[in-house]
């Protein structure tokens, strides 16, 4: 979150209320705009916010918000005003004579005011909008597009009133009650209620960002764990292939290796496949991949038994695994295709009898087909 260094929210102030200008839509109750801005400034100082401003001319609302802020600012407090101005402009606010409010001027290297202006809007914690015309409305839309909390004071019309209408459609972190407060006529309690609404949006945005960060961290952790699991399963399948015993009658160990190695490869293939997708639910993918690998490998062994009925009487497990492990990996990596074929009733084609016979190694060196 773009809080200032001491953790205080930075509120950008935008708007104008010039008496010699025609606004579209027009201003309302223009005679009370300046006093309302001073009240908003005092309330922002009271709740512990800093201000980001762009001009000190009286026709813009920043001057009046800063005046109210200075009236409520107490020496020794952390509150401050940060002025963002192009390199060729100066900011000179008319503050109360006894005020020592610090105004820090940050000059942009660009000579165009729009550069620093819109950059600040996107980096602020909140945007206060009062009156104004098309530029004020655009500032509100830019802030909303970046999901920056906005406080359009619609009581005085102008561009800020239009922003409230736009915010009602987008909402972001604003609630129904916030939209209602923004549209109320100005009263003695308006400043307090409006600023509370803005702080509520800021807090909800902070909580949402924290939740998004936790979700992102959890996703990265799950993805990393999935990568480790796939590597372990792949190495396990290769280790079982390498350590498989020589030719001989099928026993518990040899059958366990014969089935376990391709299942490990199937799980590895499924998890690797899942790593390419946005959904990092690799555990679900692992279960699906192992299931697809089990069905494919058992159907493959069944096809070999049809071709060589005595296959398990004297079997070369290691040799058979050179077929079964890649088959298991492929089935796990493409488990969705495997399930689609199963639903369609398709089964793996058996190898030719001669090829299947070569996988058996009966004692005495006689060919597997000679005993049938």
Q: Containing H/E element for 106?
A: strand 103-108
Is the domain of 16 the same as that of 160? yes
For residues 185 and 249, state if they share a domain. no
Give yes or no: residues 46 and 164 share one domain: yes
d(CA 51, CA 49): 7
How confident is the model over 186-209, as a mean pLDDT? 96
Average pLDDT in the 200-204 region? Answer: 96
Helices (H), the chain: 33-46, 61-72, 113-123, 134-145, 158-170, 176-182, 190-243, 252-275, 282-307, 317-333, 335-343, 353-357
- Token pair of 303 as six digits: 């096809």
C-alpha span between 30 and 159 (Å, rounded): 13
Check which CATH number belongs to the domain holding 138 and give it. 3.40.50.450
Residues 166 and 291 in one domain: no
Last residue of a domain, one of 190, 213, 236: 213
Identify whether 156 is part of a domain: yes
Give the Cα separation of 197 and 177 in Å (integer): 8
Distance between CA atoms of residues 181 and 97, nearest Å: 34
Task: Answer yes or no: is pLDDT of 86 > 50.
Answer: yes
Per-residue pLDDT tens over the stretch 1-36: 455 556 899 999 999 999 889 998 999 998 899 999
Q: pLDDT tens digits for 235-250? A: 999 999 988 877 878 7
Q: What is the pLDDT of residue 363?
A: 43
Last residue within a domain, chosen from 163, 192, 213: 213
Residue 115 lies in a domain: yes
On whether the CB atoms of residues 360 and 313 are closer than 8 A, the answer is: yes
Both 68 and 206 in a single domain? Answer: yes
Predicted confidence at residue 362, as pLDDT, reads 45
Residue 358 belongs to a domain = yes
For residues 209 and 283, state if they share a domain. Answer: no
Position 367 scores a pLDDT of: 43
Residue 148: which of 130, 122, 113 has the closest Cα? 122
Q: Based on the domain organization, do 262 and 208 belong to the same domain?
A: no
Q: What are phi and psi of 338, to 5 degrees?
A: -65, -45
322 and 173 fall within a common domain: no
Measure the CA–CA gap between 138 and 329, rounded to whole angstroms: 55
CA angle 136, 138, 144 (to 5 degrees): 105
Residues 41 and 95 reside in one and the same domain: yes
Out of 162, 193, 213, a domain closes at: 213
| pLDDT, average across residues 117-131 | 94
201 and 286 housed in the same domain:
no
What is the model's pTM?
0.69
User: Do 61 and 127 share a structural domain?
Assistant: yes
How far, in Å, are 249, 259, 312 from residue 252 at the CA level? 10, 11, 12
CA distances from 88 to 107, 118, 121, 178 (A): 8, 18, 21, 39
Judge if 76 and 131 occupy the same domain.
yes
How large is the average pLDDT for residues 151-178?
95
| Position 344 confidence tier, pLDDT thresholds 50, 70, 90 | confident
Stretch 96-108: mean pLDDT, rounded?
A: 83
As to burial, measured by CB atoms within 10 angstroms (0-12 exposed, 13-18 middle, 19+ buried), residue 30 is middle
Q: How many domains does the chain have?
A: 2
The reply to whether 198 falls in a domain is yes
Residue 229 falls within a domain, yes or no? Answer: no
User: Is residue 23, in this structure, part of any structural domain at all?
Assistant: yes
The answer to whether residue 221 is domain-embedded is no
Tokens for 211? Answer: 């939740």
Task: Look up residue 356 and give its two tokens.
Answer: 């299947």
Any domain includes 33: yes
What percent of the chain is predicted at pLDDT more than 90? 51
Expressed as residue numbers, the domain containing 268 is 244-371
Q: What are phi and psi of 94, to 5 degrees?
A: -90, 100
pLDDT, tens digit (0-9, with 9 covering 90-100), for 170-180: 999 999 999 99
53 against 367, higher pLDDT:
53
Helix (H, G, I), strand (E, B) or coil at 99: coil
């Amino acid at each position: 979150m773009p809080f200032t260094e001491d953790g205080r929210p930075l509120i950008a102030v935008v708007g104008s209320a010039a008496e010699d200008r025609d606004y579209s839509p027009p201003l309302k109750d223009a005679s009370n705009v300046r006093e309302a801005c001073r009240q908003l400034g005092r309330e922002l100082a009271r709740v512990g916010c800093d201000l980001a401003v762009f001009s000190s001319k009286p026709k813009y609302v920043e001057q009046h918000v800063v005046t109210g802020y200075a009236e409520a600012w107490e020496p020794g407090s952390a509150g401050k005003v940060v002025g963002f101005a192009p390199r060729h402009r100066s900011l000179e606010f008319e503050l109360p004579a006894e005020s020592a409010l610090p105004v820090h001027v940050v000059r942009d290297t660009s000579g165009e005011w729009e550069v620093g202006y819109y950059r600040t809007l996107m980096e602020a914690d909140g945007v206060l909008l009062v009156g104004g015309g098309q530029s004020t409305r655009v500032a509100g839309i830019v802030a909303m597009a970046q999901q920056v909390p906005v406080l359009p004071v619609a009581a005085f019309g102008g561009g800020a009133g239009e922003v409230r209408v736009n915010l009602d459609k987008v909402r972001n972190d604003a609630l129904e009650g916030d939209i209602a407060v923004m549209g109320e006529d100005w009263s003695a309690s308006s400043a307090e209620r409006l600023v509370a609404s803005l702080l509520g949006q800021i807090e909800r945005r902070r909580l949402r960002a924290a939740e998004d960060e936790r979700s992102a961290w959890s996703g990265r952790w799950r993805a990393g764990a999935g990568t480790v699991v796939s590597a372990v399963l792949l190495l396990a399948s290769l280790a079982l292939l390498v350590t498989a015993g020589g030719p001989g009658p099928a026993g518990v160990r040899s059958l366990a290796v014969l089935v376990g190695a391709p299942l490990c490869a199937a799980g590895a293939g499924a998890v690797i496949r899942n790593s390419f997708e946005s959904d990092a639910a690799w555990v679900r993918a692992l279960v699906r991949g192992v299931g697809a690998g089990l069905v494919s490998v058992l159907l493959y062994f069944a096809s070999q038994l049809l071709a060589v009925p005595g296959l398990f009487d004297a079997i070369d497990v290691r040799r058979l695994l050179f077929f079964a492990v890649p088959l298991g990996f492929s089935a796990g990596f493409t488990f969705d295709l495997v399930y689609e074929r199963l639903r369609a009733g398709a089964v793996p084609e058996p190898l030719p009898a001669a090829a299947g016979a070569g996988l058996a190694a009966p004692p005495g060196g006689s060919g597997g087909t000679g005993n049938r």
